[in-house]
């Protein structure tokens, strides 16, 4: 089952619904979807798409996408944040973030906004290829 987050890059949405980036960009223009620029990306072409009810409705009514089982809700954690405190990886990530400078944190933020989690994991070469 695929999840639509509240804001997604063109590439993330294309991957999620199994379409080309160009198709998503055409839908953005034709349907007048709300977008915002991605901080740190020059040229103004990289944008985040707001996944509004109108966008979800459009995606669910598209003939090619009717057969997909999309969770057409904003993604939410199924458990409280504090439940991860006992996870060693979570603690390590928190420790690494605590040691980063403000500039490094800002660059990481820009990278995550620009490429999303899947792009971040691909750069680390730990992405799940089956997803």
Q: Is 32 left (phi over 0), alpha (psi -120 to 50) or beta?
A: left
Distance CA 18, CA 109 (A): 26
What confidence score (pLDDT) does residue 131 get?
53
What confidence score (pLDDT) does residue 64 get?
66
What is the average per-residue pLDDT within 42-70? 77
What confidence score (pLDDT) does residue 1 get?
36
Higher pLDDT, 49 or 74: 49
What confidence score (pLDDT) does residue 122 get?
86
Per the confidence metrics, is the pTM higher than 0.95? Answer: no
What confidence score (pLDDT) does residue 5 get?
80
* Sign of the Cα pseudo-torsion (11, 17, 21, 26, in order): negative
Predicted confidence (pLDDT) per residue in 64-113, tens digit: 666 655 544 445 555 555 555 667 888 888 888 889 999 998 888 888 88
């Amino acid at each position: 089952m695929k999840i639509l987050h509240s804001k997604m890059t063109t590439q993330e949405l294309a991957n999620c619904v199994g379409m080309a980036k160009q198709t998503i960009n055409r839908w953005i223009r034709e349907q007048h979807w709300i977008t915002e620029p991605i901080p740190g990306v020059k040229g103004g072409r990289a944008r985040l798409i707001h996944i509004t009810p109108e966008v979800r409705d459009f995606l669910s009514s598209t003939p090619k996408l009717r057969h997909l089982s999309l969770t057409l809700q904003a993604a939410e954690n199924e458990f409280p944040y504090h439940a991860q405190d006992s996870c060693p990886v979570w603690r390590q990530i928190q420790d690494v973030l605590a040691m980063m400078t403000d500039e490094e944190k800002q660059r990481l933020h820009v990278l995550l906004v620009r490429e999303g989690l899947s792009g971040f994991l691909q750069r680390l070469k730990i992405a799940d290829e089956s997803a």
